[in-house]
Amino acid sequence: MFLFLLVLTALPGCATYAQFTGDLQRDLARGDYEAALGTLNDADSGANRLLFLMENGLVAHDRGHYEQSNVYFERAERLADRLFTRSLSREVAALVTNDAVRAYRGEEYELVFIHYYRALNYWRLGLPEDALVECRKANLKLARYTADGDYESRYRNDAFIHYMTGLFYEATGELNDAYVSYRDAAKAYAVYDEKLGVPPPALLDEDLRRVSKIFDGEDASAVQLASLGTPFLPRPTGDGELVLFAETGFVPRKIQKEIDLPIFDDDIRKGKSGDISVVSKQIAWRHHRPYRSAKVEYWLRVALPVYQDAHPRVASVSLRASGKSTRAVPAENLAAIARSTFHDKQPVMIARTVARGFAKYLATEGVKKKNKVLGFFANLLAASTEAADTRSWVSLPHTIHIGKLRLPPGVHDITVESRDASGHIIEKKVLEGVQILSGERTFLNVRSYK
């Protein structure tokens, strides 16, 4: 009876987040923010609360509601910290139902990007010191991931985030921190290039060399920044510098896929007399691998998350103003990061899913021997409560490009053009009235959902 009630309690959580993500991305692509917010409200629940906050924070940011965006992201940050403490009832429910009843805690890269958007929000609100606080939080979070990773992962340091924080540090005169961030970005991009196929942007090398020259070969940590007396590296022309982050497309979303795995007589015998987790790993190993020809006692159906292909139409981004133009360069591929993170965690996820399904099978077989009717309903209940955990932060961009433009002091209209692989303009936006100050750096970001 306890098991039955526990399952009934968990059933509302079986509605996977994938039911909402397609609608959400379509709403945003149409620019229908009100519909997107309505979709998010439908998806709000206890287990999905962190996603609700992150999605709302990004939608508010894209609409230019920076204070509201920061409220959502601050709540998301606090909740993510609390979720490190496990909920026993949810953990127990997940053992007999599915992973989707667990409170979503966020992927590492998702939690880091909270600080990227909060830094941009604060900068747009004219609060550079608060923006720097977010930069330091992001750096500390990446340092913790590097030191405390509990599984083999290709995502340890986010090269783009290090580069972004370096740009912010340099713009506010924190040149020691800028040097460290640029250096860390260069190291991380070397890993990006090898593991994710994302080469370092040429702009980073220029920035690192420029800051390095200030120290004349000295150790950056020994430099007294106060003696420099300037918020940004001065240029002979007196121009200011526009730094644009162009965000394109959507990170791929997860959908559910069901697979069948063969259960042999040996599996059942070992499962009843030994450690189910060991047998489950052997069963999971048969996924995508040949297995010996033998009589199959049972086909175990399990639900797994898989990524849907996501290919943004935008292949390149250019910006121009006051007779000057430049092409932005790719600096972050969140789609590649999401897939690599999923790939690294997949073996544990599959093993846990198979263990749960195998345990349900053994339990229902035991019930069936005592009472066939109860066994039928137990088997039906076990199948109906199995669902893949398809949750992720789906309003994030697929790719982020960085573009820099030196401009004379004054007010400028910035034209941003997004082109497809054939070079055709598929979207053009004009950022009007952008103030450029002499010798200072101005940050902007623009989003294309195409």
**Mean pLDDT, contiguous 10-residue spans, the chain (450 residues):** 42 54 91 91 81 96 97 96 62 50 88 97 96 95 74 70 96 92 94 86 92 65 44 60 97 90 86 81 78 76 87 95 95 94 86 83 64 46 66 96 96 97 96 94 96
Other residues' Cβ atoms within 10 Å of the Cβ of residue 437: 14
Report how far Cα 311 is from the mean position of its chain's Cα atoms. 16
Residues 313-356 pLDDT 10s: 999 999 999 999 999 999 999 999 999 989 888 888 888 888 88
Ordered by start, the domain boundaries in the chain are 235-450
How far apart CA 160 and CA 445 sit, in angstroms, is 14
- C-alpha count within 13 angstroms, C-beta hemisphere, residue 192: 26
How far apart CA 375 and CA 387 sit, in angstroms, is 21
Report how far Cα 397 is from the mean position of its chain's Cα atoms. 9
Residues 6+ apart with CB under 8 A from 211: 170, 175, 178, 179, 182, 233
Q: How far is CA 66 from CA 50, 61, 119, 256, in A?
A: 19, 5, 10, 34
pTM of the model: 0.85
Q: Quick one: which of 194, 186, 146 has its CA closest to 166? A: 186
The pLDDT of residue 115 is 97
Strands 324-327 and 316-321: antiparallel
Residues 4-51 pLDDT 10s: 444 444 444 444 566 778 889 999 999 999 999 988 887 767 888 999
How far apart CA 405 and CA 408 sit, in angstroms, is 10
- Reading the block at residue 39, the tokens are 């979709």
The pLDDT of residue 388 is 86
How far apart CA 160 and CA 125 sit, in angstroms, is 23
The pLDDT of residue 47 is 86
Q: Quick one: which of 211, 242, 165, 285 has its CA closest to 434? A: 242
Give yes or no for a contact between 242 and 6, defined as CB atoms under 8 angstroms apart: no
What kind and span of H or E run contains 244? strand 240-248
How far apart CA 158 and CA 167 sit, in angstroms, is 15
The pLDDT of residue 223 is 47
Tokens 């789609």, located at residue: 335
- C-alpha count within 13 angstroms, C-beta hemisphere, residue 419: 12
Partners of 435 in the beta sheet? 411
CA-CA-CA-CA torsion sign (65, 70, 71, 72)? positive
How far apart CA 351 and CA 343 sit, in angstroms, is 13
Question: Where do the DSSP E strands lie in 308-395?
Answer: 316-321, 324-327, 329-333
Q: Quick one: which of 234, 113, 235, 231 has its CA closest to 168? A: 231
The pLDDT of residue 15 is 46
How far apart CA 66 and CA 315 sit, in angstroms, is 28
How far apart CA 427 and CA 449 sit, in angstroms, is 10
Give yes or no for a contact between 304 and 248, defined as CB atoms under 8 angstroms apart: no
Phi first, then psi: give them for residue 436, nearest 5 degrees: -110, 125
The alpha-helical segments, DSSP class H, found in 11-98 are: 18-29, 33-43, 49-62, 66-82, 88-96
Amino acid at 221: S
How far apart CA 205 and CA 357 sit, in angstroms, is 51
How far apart CA 103 and CA 89 sit, in angstroms, is 11
Give yes or no for a contact between 118 and 70, defined as CB atoms under 8 angstroms apart: yes
- Reading the block at residue 424, the tokens are 């055709």
Strands 254-264 and 296-307: antiparallel
